[in-house]
């Protein structure tokens, strides 16, 4: 099966606290104890003090051209609260931990992450509680996100515009 | 005496316009304009307001199952310099294999980090730029889901509707990100959009006229 991979992604801006937190020895140790052997960072515009770990293979990249594929090849995603990322991961039915950036003012994306966590599709935490969230292992038991009915909106719009509905 | 007559006429017209606008807002906010009053067989000229990043993806997801023969031609309006959205729309239209569309770029009303004083002028400029555009297209339908660029376009077409020049239906879809609070565009378009869709039941509870039709994303 190869290495079990963790994908840490911060989106198009930066979230250095998340990168720092996952790079800590104690967190990497926890990841290793959970069976993960490869951590892929996507750091955006942030700094990456590239570091090494004896048991875990670590890789850094700024962006990924094919984001969906990167998620597909991962076994756990640790992400910022971006709506696009959340949806992509949920649609692929992968375990997801969303880490909230407390330094952002008026970050309405938190709303979405918390709602999705309440519904049981993912786990939500802050950089400080990430280690405990990993240790709890609750992120492995998540509800599968249902696929939407793609015709829902077009039927609605046809009705609004007065088109005949077949 | 001539002058006084002119003033009185002007006042009368202003009152009539105001009454018409209030009537439309009342009709919209009470949900009486949710569905077309007559059957339609001709395709509708559609304006799609494209924002940035996530908004664009959401809009294209919503549009994926539309019958493009009914919604044609399509005018995608987006801010200049938004190359990512431009590429996304191009790719989307290619997969649909319909060529009856146009991408129109308008000046940005505000760049991230721009000061408020200068953004007043750039906003005014982008509004003035939108007026001839909307008058020329005279859309039957405007689809928008958040970005600030949609506000001038919606307001101008609303005024055209109030003046009986065009009959435009405005459909606003609040972003999937909004579960508890409305976006600024949502707060404004509450009064002007004929259809106001939300993607979470919790948001529907906050606004009676909003509609929740199920999971869209």
pLDDT tens sequence across A10-65: 988 889 999 999 999 999 999 999 999 999 999 999 887 788 899 999 999 999 98
Confidence of residue A106 (pLDDT cuts 50, 70, 90): low
| A5-161 carries CATH number 3.30.43.10 | no
Average pLDDT over residues B106-127: 79
Are B186 and B146 within 8 A, CB to CB? yes
The region of weakest confidence among B11-25, B27-41, B57-71, B192-206 is B27-41
CA distance linking residue B186 with residue B191, whole number of Å: 9
C-beta atoms of B67 and A158 within 8 A: yes
Number of domains in chain B: 1
d(CA B26, CA B72): 30
In degrees rounded to 5, what are phi and psi of residue A101? -85, 100
Place of tokens 């046809």: A158
CB count within 10 Å of CB A85 equals: 24
Query: Mean of the per-residue pLDDT values for chain B?
Result: 91
Check if A91 contacts B (Cβ < 8 Å): no
Tell me, yes or no, whether B212 lies in a domain.
Answer: no
Q: Is the pLDDT of residue B34 over 60?
A: yes
User: Does a structural domain hold residue B172?
Assistant: yes
Say what the ipTM of the complex is: 0.91
Q: Given A111, A154, A159, which is nearest B65 (Cβ)?
A: A154
For position B120, what pLDDT does the model report?
Answer: 82
Min Cα–Cα distance to chain A from B5, Å? 43
Chain B: closest CA distance from residue A156 (Å): 8
Q: List the CATH number of the domain containing B165.
A: 3.40.50.2000
Q: Do A161 and B180 touch (CB under 8 A)?
A: no
> Are residues A111 and B57, on separate chains, in Cβ contact within 8 Å?
no
Is the CB of A109 inside 8 Å of chain B's CB atoms?
yes
Q: B213 in a domain, yes or no?
A: no
**Rounded Cα distance, B129 and B44, in Å:** 23
Q: A160–B179: do the CB atoms touch at under 8 Å?
A: no
pLDDT digits (tens, 9 = 90+) for A129-146: 999 999 999 999 999 999
Nearest to B174 by CA among B152, B202, B133, B136: B202
Q: Which residues of A touch B63 (CB under 8 A)?
A: 153
Assess if residue B215 is contained within a domain. Answer: no
Closest CA to B59 of B192, B207, B158, B197: B197
- Is the pLDDT score of A1 beyond 60? no
In a domain, B216, yes or no: no
Does B51 fall in a domain? yes
Q: Is residue B12 part of a domain?
A: yes
The CA distances from residue A77 to B16, B168, B179, in Å, are: 59, 44, 23
- Confidence check: pLDDT of A82 > 80: yes
β-bridge pairing B44-49 and B195-197: unpaired
Q: Above pLDDT 70, what percent of chain A?
A: 98
The mean per-residue pLDDT over the stretch A107-125 comes to 91
- pLDDT of B1 reads 66
Crossing angle, helix A83-91 and helix B53-63, to 10 degrees?
Answer: 40
* Residue A158: per-residue pLDDT: 96
Domain-located, residue B209: no
Separation of alpha carbons B127 and B98, rounded Å = 30
Q: What proportion of chain A, given as a percentage, has pLDDT over 90?
A: 78
pLDDT for B189 = 95
Q: Is residue B112 predicted with pLDDT exceeding 70?
A: no
B186 has a pLDDT exceeding 80: yes
Domain boundaries, chain A: 5-161
What is the extent of the structural domain holding B15?
A: 2-204
Q: Please determine, for residue A165, whether its predicted confidence score (pLDDT) is greater than 80.
A: no
Which one of B35, B52, B60, B65 makes the best mutation probe of the A interface by having the most chain A beta carbons within 10 Å? Answer: B65
Number of inter-chain CB pairs under 8 A, A vs B? 86
Distance CA A132, CA A106 (A): 26
pLDDT attached to residue B115:
79
């Amino acid at each position: 099966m190869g290495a079990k991979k963790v994908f840490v992604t911060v989106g198009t801006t930066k979230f250095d606290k998340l990168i720092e937190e996952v790079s800590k020895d104690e967190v990497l140790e926890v990841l290793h104890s959970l069976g993960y052997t490869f951590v892929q960072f996507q750091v955006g515009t942030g700094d990456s003090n590239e570091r090494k770990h004896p048991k875990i293979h670590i890789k850094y990249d700024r962006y990924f051209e094919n984001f969906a594929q990167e998620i597909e090849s991962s076994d756990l995603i640790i992400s910022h609260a971006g709506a696009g990322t959340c949806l992509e991961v949920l649609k692929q039915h992968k375990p997801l931990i969303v880490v909230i950036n407390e330094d952002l003012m008026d970050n309405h994306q938190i709303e979405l992450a918390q709602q999705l966590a309440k519904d049981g599709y993912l786990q939500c935490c802050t950089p400080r509680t990430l280690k405990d969230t990993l240790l709890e292992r609750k992120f492995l038991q998540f509800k599968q996100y249902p696929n939407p009915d793609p015709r829902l909106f077009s039927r609605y719009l046809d009705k609004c515009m007065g088109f005949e509905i077949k | 005496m001539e002058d006084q007559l002119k003033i009185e006429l002007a006042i009368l017209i202003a009152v009539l316009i105001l009454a018409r606008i209030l009537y439309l807002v009342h009709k919209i906010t009470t949900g009486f304009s949710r569905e077309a009053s007559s059957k339609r067989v001709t395709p509708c000229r559609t304006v799609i307001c494209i924002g940035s990043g996530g908004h664009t993806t959401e809009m294209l997801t919503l549009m994926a199952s539309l019958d493009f023969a009914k919604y044609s031609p399509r005018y995608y309006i987006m801010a200049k310099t938004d190359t990512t959205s431009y590429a996304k729309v191009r790719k989307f239209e290619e997969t649909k294999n319909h060529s009856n569309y146009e991408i129109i770029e308008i000046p940005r009303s505000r760049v991230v980090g721009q000061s408020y004083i200068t953004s007043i002028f750039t906003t005014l400029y982008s509004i003035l730029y939108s007026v001839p555009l909307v008058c020329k297209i005279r859309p039957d339908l405007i689809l928008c889901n958040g970005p600030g660029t949609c506000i001038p376009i919606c307001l101008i077409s609303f005024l055209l509707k109030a003046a009986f020049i065009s009959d435009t239906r405005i459909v606003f879809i609040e972003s999937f990100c909004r579960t508890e609070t409305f976006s600024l565009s949502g707060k404004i378009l509450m009064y002007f959009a004929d259809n106001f869709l939300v993607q979470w039941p919790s948001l529907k509870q906050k606004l009676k006229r909003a509609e929740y039709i199920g999971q869209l994303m």
